[in-house]
Amino acid sequence: HDTLLEINDLRVYFYLDEGTVKAVDGVSFTVKRGQTLCVVGESGCGKSVTARAILNIVPRPGKIVDGEILLHRQKPDGQVEVIDLAALSPTGREIRAIRGAEISMVFQEPMTSFSPVHTIGSQIMEAILLHQDVTKEQARESAVDMLRRCGLPRPEHVVDQYPWELSGGMRQRAMIARALVCRPSLLIADEPTTALDVTTETQILALMRELQQELGMAILFITHDLGVVAEMADEVIVMYLGQVVERADVVSIFREPKHPYTQALLRSIPKIDRQRRKRLDTIEGMVPDPYNIPPGCPFHPRCTAFMPGLCDRLEPPVYDTGDGHLARCLLYAPELPAASDAVSTAL
Ligand code: SF4
Ligand code: MG
């Protein structure tokens, strides 16, 4: 019963005049109840699109073209009901009942700042009144209570304030309050602290862990920052060009990363914590053009372990390197074909 969300072979493509971008190309993973799964990778790897696909809010001209997003919903009688979110209409009643209630999302500011023309309180109450059968007074009480739990001083005052009256850090706390007020079983957090200073970031991450304990929710945490991964994750998946290239528990990712891309990311972590803001885009080579994904292993032009004749010709499948530690890399093939065989199979 510990599976909450199960994604199978998800594909999200963007159909543009310039060509098709396979932003998410065959992604599979599982989020366990009450746990934190971090999705890490450089910008453009498909991590945010994956997150949006779960709530069926992929921006146009993107489209979920294949795959399943299975929500394992625990019913009060203990039975588990499985719903495929990818199969629901993006504007239908079913998905709207799930968004903001069972699954909610916080973004990096200013991506989804609150509406500037309504008070913080009315925007939190809106979420409550949409999903719960309570009076306005009860909704207001819940809003104040959640603002307090999220560490906002004088919540009964904040509830009547406008978003622009709060600092960036307080506004992010209020957004977390809005996301959690209906007690979701899954919180999707897409770079929620990237715009904040390091001190505020540390506080927000601690708050999220605290509320996770209290509410028992799972978190899908999207980040490019391995420092954040170390603080938050139970399990980690690493994405590159729309695919999952590695998956393991957090200790294994840091102690024995298997995929050359993960190894490069870890080498690129600046040693001094204060420099953590530096983007992780500093690994060798350019992120390839998403319209022209390299043949064979998409990472091969940047890979220090590149095997000519193999890596540029064979698309690596996912290998279990032991104990469920997965890596999409030919180095872990139990038997490697000779380079000359690879040429003939590819042709
Ligand atoms: Fe590097 Fe080859 Fe592994 Fe790709 S398959 S990551 S190019 S060693
Ligand atoms: Mg993003």
Question: Does 229 reside within a domain?
Answer: yes
- Where does a domain end: 271, 293, 315? 293
Looking at the 3D structure of the chain, how many domains does it have? 2
In this structure, are 44 and 61 located in the same domain?
yes
Q: What is the pLDDT of residues 29-82, one digit of tens each?
A: 999 999 999 999 988 899 999 999 999 999 889 999 999 999 999 888 989 999
Instruction: Tell me if 306 CB under 6 Å of ligand 1.
Output: yes
User: pLDDT value at position 300?
Assistant: 95
In this structure, are 205 and 86 located in the same domain?
yes
User: pLDDT value at position 196?
Assistant: 84
The ligand 1 atom nearest the CA atom of 260: 6
Question: Does 307 reside within a domain?
Answer: no
In this structure, are 12 and 147 located in the same domain?
no
Question: Does 313 reside within a domain?
Answer: no
CA distance 175 to 163: 10
User: pLDDT value at position 283?
Assistant: 66
CATH code for the domain of 32: 3.40.50.300
In this structure, are 219 and 123 located in the same domain?
no
Q: Which of 241, 246, 284, 297 to mutate to test the pocket of ligand 1 (most atoms within 8 A of CB)?
A: 297
Tokens of 232: 């938050």
Instruction: Tell me if 342 CB under 6 Å of ligand 1.
Output: no
**Regions of the chain with pLDDT less than 50:** 272-275, 278-281, 344-347
Tokens of 235: 């399990």
**Helix ranges (DSSP H) in the chain:** 47-54, 93-98, 120-131, 136-149, 155-158, 168-180, 198-215, 226-232, 250-255, 260-267, 339-346
Contact 237, 211 (CB under 8 A): no
Instruction: Tell me if 313 CB under 6 Å of ligand 1.
Output: no
CA distance 334 to 303: 20
Instruction: Tell me if 319 CB under 6 Å of ligand 1.
Output: no
In this structure, are 124 and 89 located in the same domain?
no
Question: Does 16 reside within a domain?
Answer: yes
In this structure, are 189 and 266 located in the same domain?
yes
List the beta bridge partners of residue 30.
6
In this structure, are 13 and 65 located in the same domain?
yes
Contact 37, 188 (CB under 8 A): no
ipTM of the complex as predicted: 0.95
In this structure, are 228 and 144 located in the same domain?
no
Q: How far apart are the first and last CA of the chain?
A: 45
Question: Does 347 reside within a domain?
Answer: no
In this structure, are 188 and 287 located in the same domain?
yes
Contact 253, 236 (CB under 8 A): yes
In this structure, are 91 and 119 located in the same domain?
no
- Closest residue to atom 7 of ligand 1, CA basis: 300
- Where does a domain end: 165, 183, 201? 183
Instruction: Tell me if 238 CB under 6 Å of ligand 1.
Output: no
In degrees, to the nearest 5, what angle opens at C-alpha 48 toward C-alphas 43 and 51?
Answer: 160
The boundaries of the domain holding residue 163 are 114-183
Q: What global pTM score does this model have?
A: 0.91
Question: Does 337 reside within a domain?
Answer: no
In this structure, are 35 and 57 located in the same domain?
yes
List the beta bridge partners of residue 105.
188
CA distance 273 to 215: 30
Question: Does 154 reside within a domain?
Answer: yes
Under 8 Å CB-to-CB from 205, ≥6 apart: which residues? 193, 228, 231, 232
Under 8 Å CB-to-CB from 122, ≥6 apart: which residues? none
CA distance 42 to 239: 8
For residue 109, what are the CA distances in angstroms to 168, 174, 189?
8, 12, 11
User: pLDDT value at position 289?
Assistant: 78
Contact 99, 55 (CB under 8 A): yes
Question: Does 284 reside within a domain?
Answer: yes
In this structure, are 177 and 188 located in the same domain?
no
Contact 54, 24 (CB under 8 A): no
Contact 299, 260 (CB under 8 A): yes
- Where does a domain end: 132, 161, 183? 183
